[in-house]
C-alpha cells in the first residue's frame, strides 16, 4: 500500500465509512488530511506505527468516541485538527508527549472535564490552542501562562468558571507581536525539481462579530476568545501588556469592575467585545487611542457616563454597540444632561442675541458711569484742597514746559539738517 507515500490529502469530498486502520501501515506518511468528509465511527488506535507524521486533520467529519491513547506516540506531530466532530470524553494525558505540537484544535466536539494542566507545561511550542464549543468546566489552569509562543487562544462556549488569570500578560508572542516565519504551511518536495506539495493551516475564528476563515494569513493573527463562559472578577490589568493583540472577546460572562483605564495600550486591537457582562463605571478615554479598532461591542453592561470621542472611535456610530447601558450618554446615543444646559448658550451665540446685547449695554454703561464718577471725584479734590490743587497745576506746568522745550529742540535740529543738506546740494 504505497509504502513511500508522504502526503495523503482527500479533503473536501463525500467520503463516508470509517477511517481505515490500513493507513497506519504507511510508515513514510507525513501529512494526513481527511477533513470535510462524512467519515464516522471511532478513530483507529494504531498511531504508534507512523513515526514521521507531522499533520493530522480529521476536522469536519462525524467521528465519535474517545481520542485514542496511541495518538500520543506521534512525537513528531506538529498540527492536530479534530474540530467539528462528535468526539467525547477527556483529553488523553498521552498527548502531553507531543512536545513539538504547534496547533491543537479540538473545538466543536463534546469533550468534558477540566482543561488539562499539562498543556501549559508539556506543549510549550503551542501557537494555537482552540477548544471552544465543548463541555469543559472548572477554572483556567495557570500553567497555560507558560505558553510564551501562543498566538491564538480560544476557550469560548464552554461552562468554565473562576477568574481570568493575571499571568495571561505573559504571552510573549502576543506582547511582542512576534513573526517567526511561515509556521503555518508544511511542504514536501516531490520527485521532480521544483514540485512541492504541502498542507496549509486553516481555522475559523469569530472576529469582528462574524466568523472568518483564516488560511495563509493565520500566522498574522493574535487573538484571545474567552466568551460564553461563567468567568467572574475583573478584567486583569496585565492583559493590557499584550500590545500585539488584535481580537479580544470576553463577552457573555459575569465579569465585573471597570474596563481597564489603560486599554488604549492594546495598540493593535481591531476587535473588542465586552458585551453581556456586569461591567460598571465609565468607558476609559484611552479607548479612543485604538486607531485600528473597527469592531466594538460594549452592550448589556452597567456602564455610565459620557461616551469618549475622537480618532477611530468616531466611525463606530452604531447605537447597538452601547445599548443596555442606561447610564451612557453622548453620540451616538442621547445627549448628556449637561449638554442640555449648554445648549441655550450655543443658541445665544447664533441668532438669539438679546441676552448678550443687554449684558454688553450694561457693561459699557457701567464703564461710562465709573469714568464719570472718577473724573468728578478728582475735580472735587482739586477744588476743595488747595495744596493738592497747587501741586497738580505745578505738575501740569512742568510737564508742559518740558514737552515744549523738547519739541522746540527737535524742530530746530531738523531745520538745521534740512538747510545743511540744501546748501551742500547747491554747491
Residues 182 and 113 placed together within one structural domain of the fold: yes
The confidence score (pLDDT) of residue 407 equals: 75
- Answer whether residue 359 is part of any domain: no
pLDDT tens digits, residue range 264-294?
999 999 999 999 999 999 999 999 999 999 9
CA angle 7, 8, 11 (to 5 degrees): 130
- The residue among 87, 80, 81, 90 whose CA lies nearest residue 65 is 87
- The count of other CB atoms within 10 Å of the CB of residue 307 is 22
The confidence score (pLDDT) of residue 206 equals: 84
- Annotate 230-262 with b (16+ C-beta within 10 A) or e (fewer): ebbeebbebbbbbebbbbbbbbbbebeeebbee
- Answer whether residue 345 is part of any domain: no
pTM: 0.77
The confidence score (pLDDT) of residue 301 equals: 97
pLDDT above 50: residue 3: yes
- Answer whether residue 370 is part of any domain: no
Quote the number of domains for the chain.
2
Range in 191-200, 260-269, 321-330 the model is least confident about: 191-200
Q: Which residue has the higher pLDDT, 6 or 84?
A: 84
Confidence of residue 213 (pLDDT cuts 50, 70, 90): confident
Residues 82 and 139 placed together within one structural domain of the fold: yes
pLDDT tens digits, residue range 73-118?
988 999 999 999 999 999 999 999 999 999 999 999 999 999 999 9
The confidence score (pLDDT) of residue 404 equals: 58
Confidence of residue 215 (pLDDT cuts 50, 70, 90): confident
- Answer whether residue 402 is part of any domain: yes
3 state SS of 367: helix
Residues 322 and 386 placed together within one structural domain of the fold: no
Q: Which residues contact 51 (CB under 8 A, 6 or more apart)?
A: 27, 74, 76
Range in 117-121, 303-307, 376-380 the model is least confident about: 376-380
- Annotate 356-375 with b (16+ C-beta within 10 A) or e (fewer): eeeeeeeeeeeeeeeeeeee
Q: Which domain holds residue 218?
A: 7-329
The confidence score (pLDDT) of residue 196 equals: 46
What is the rounded distance in angstroms from the CA atom of residue 100 to the CA atom of residue 66? 22
Residues 321 and 404 placed together within one structural domain of the fold: no
Tell how strand 210-214 and strand 203-207 pair up: antiparallel
The confidence score (pLDDT) of residue 334 equals: 84
The confidence score (pLDDT) of residue 355 equals: 43
User: Across the chain, what does the average pLDDT equal?
Assistant: 83
pLDDT above 80: residue 411: no
With both helix axes pointing from N to C terminus, report the angle between 386-426 and 354-384 in degrees, rounded to the nearest 10.
100
Q: Which residues contact 151 (CB under 8 A, 6 or more apart)?
A: 127, 128, 173, 174, 178, 219, 221, 222, 223
Range in 1-15, 127-141, 222-236 the model is least confident about: 1-15
For the residues 342-348, what does the mean pLDDT come to?
Answer: 43
What is the rounded distance in angstroms from the CA atom of residue 242 to the CA atom of residue 265? 8
Q: What is the CA radius of gyration of the chain?
A: 40
Per-position DSSP letters for 371-407, written without gaps between them? HHHHHHHHHHHHHH-HHHHHHHHHHHHHHHHHHHHHH
Q: Identify the domain boundary among 297, 329, 361.
A: 329
What is the percent of the chain where pLDDT is above 70?
74
pLDDT tens digits, residue range 10-65?
999 999 999 998 888 888 899 999 999 999 999 998 887 888 899 999 999 999 99
3 state SS of 138: strand
Q: Which residues partner with 331 through β-bridges?
A: none
Confidence of residue 396 (pLDDT cuts 50, 70, 90): low
What is the rounded distance in angstroms from the CA atom of residue 404 to the CA atom of residue 424? 31
For the residues 352-368, what does the mean pLDDT come to?
Answer: 50
- Answer whether residue 88 is part of any domain: yes
Residues 116 and 50 placed together within one structural domain of the fold: yes
* Alpha carbon separation from 134 to 86, 91, 108, 248, 278 (Å, rounded): 10, 12, 6, 20, 24
Torsion angle, alpha carbons of 348, 353, 359, 360, to 10 = 120
- Answer whether residue 369 is part of any domain: no
Q: Across the chain, how many H-helices and E-strands are there?
A: 5, 27
The confidence score (pLDDT) of residue 180 equals: 62
Please return the burial class of 299, using the count of CB atoms within 10 Å of its CB with bins 0-12, 13-18 and 19+: buried
- Answer whether residue 336 is part of any domain: no
- Answer whether residue 1 is part of any domain: no
Amino acid at each position: 500500500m504505497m509504502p513511500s507515500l508522504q502526503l495523503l490529502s482527500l479533503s473536501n469530498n463525500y467520503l463516508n465509512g470509517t477511517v481505515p486502520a490500513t493507513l497506519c501501515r504507511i510508515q513514510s506518511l507525513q501529512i494526513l488530511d481527511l477533513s470535510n468528509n462524512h467519515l464516522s465511527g471511532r478513530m483507529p488506535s494504531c498511531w504508534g506505527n507512523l513515526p514521521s507524521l507531522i499533520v493530522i486533520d480529521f476536522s469536519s467529519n462525524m467521528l465519535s468516541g474517545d481520542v485514542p491513547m496511541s495518538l500520543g506516540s506521534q512525537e513528531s506531530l506538529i498540527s492536530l485538527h479534530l474540530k467539528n466532530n462528535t468526539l467525547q470524553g477527556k483529553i488523553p494525558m498521552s498527548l502531553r508527549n507531543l512536545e513539538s505540537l504547534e496547533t491543537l484544535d479540538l473545538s466543536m466536539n463534546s469533550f468534558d472535564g477540566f482543561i488539562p494542566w499539562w498543556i501549559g507545561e508539556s506543549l510549550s511550542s503551542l501557537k494555537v490552542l482552540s477548544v471552544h464549543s465543548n463541555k469543559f468546566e472548572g477554572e483556567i489552569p495557570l500553567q497555560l501562562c507558560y505558553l510564551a509562543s501562543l498566538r491564538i487562544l480560544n476557550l469560548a462556549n464552554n461552562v468554565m468558571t473562576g477568574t481570568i488569570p493575571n499571568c495571561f500578560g505573559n504571552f510573549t508572542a502576543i506582547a511582542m507581536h512576534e513573526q517567526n516565519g511561515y509556521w503555518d504551511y508544511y511542504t514536501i518536495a516531490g520527485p521532480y525539481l521544483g514540485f512541492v506539495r504541502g498542507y496549509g493551516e486553516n481555522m475559523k475564528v469569530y472576529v469582528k462579530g462574524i466568523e472568518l476563515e483564516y488560511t495563509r494569513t493565520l500566522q498574522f493573527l493574535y487573538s484571545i476568545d474567552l466568551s460564553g463562559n461563567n468567568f467572574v472578577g475583573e478584567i486583569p490589568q496585565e492583559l493590557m501588556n499584550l500590545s500585539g493583540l488584535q481580537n479580544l472577546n470576553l463577552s457573555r460572562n459575569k465579569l465585573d469592575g471597570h474596563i481597564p483605564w489603560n486599554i488604549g495600550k492594546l495598540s493593535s486591537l481591531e476587535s473588542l467585545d465586552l458585551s453581556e457582562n456586569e461591567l460598571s463605571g465609565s468607558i476609559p478615554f484611552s479607548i479612543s487611542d485604538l486607531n485600528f479598532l473597527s469592531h466594538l461591542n460594549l452592550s448589556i453592561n452597567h456602564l455610565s457616563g459620557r461616551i469618549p470621542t475622537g480618532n477611530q472611535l468616531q466611525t463606530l456610530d452604531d447605537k447597538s454597540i452601547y445599548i443596555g447601558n442606561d447610564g451612557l450618554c453622548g453620540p451616538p446615543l442621547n445627549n448628556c444632561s449637561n449638554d442640555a444646559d449648554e445648549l441655550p448658550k450655543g443658541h445665544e451665540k447664533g441668532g438669539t442675541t438679546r441676552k448678550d446685547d443687554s449684558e454688553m449695554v450694561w457693561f459699557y454703561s457701567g464703564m461710562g458711569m465709573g469714568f464719570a464718577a472718577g473724573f468728578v471725584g478728582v475735580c472735587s479734590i482739586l477744588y476743595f484742597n488747595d495744596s493738592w490743587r497747587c501741586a497738580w497745576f505745578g505738575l501740569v506746568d512742568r510737564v508742559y514746559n518740558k514737552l515744549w522745550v523738547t519739541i522746540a529742540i527737535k524742530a530746530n535740529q531738523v531745520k538745521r539738517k534740512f538747510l545743511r543738506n540744501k546748501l551742500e546740494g547747491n554747491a
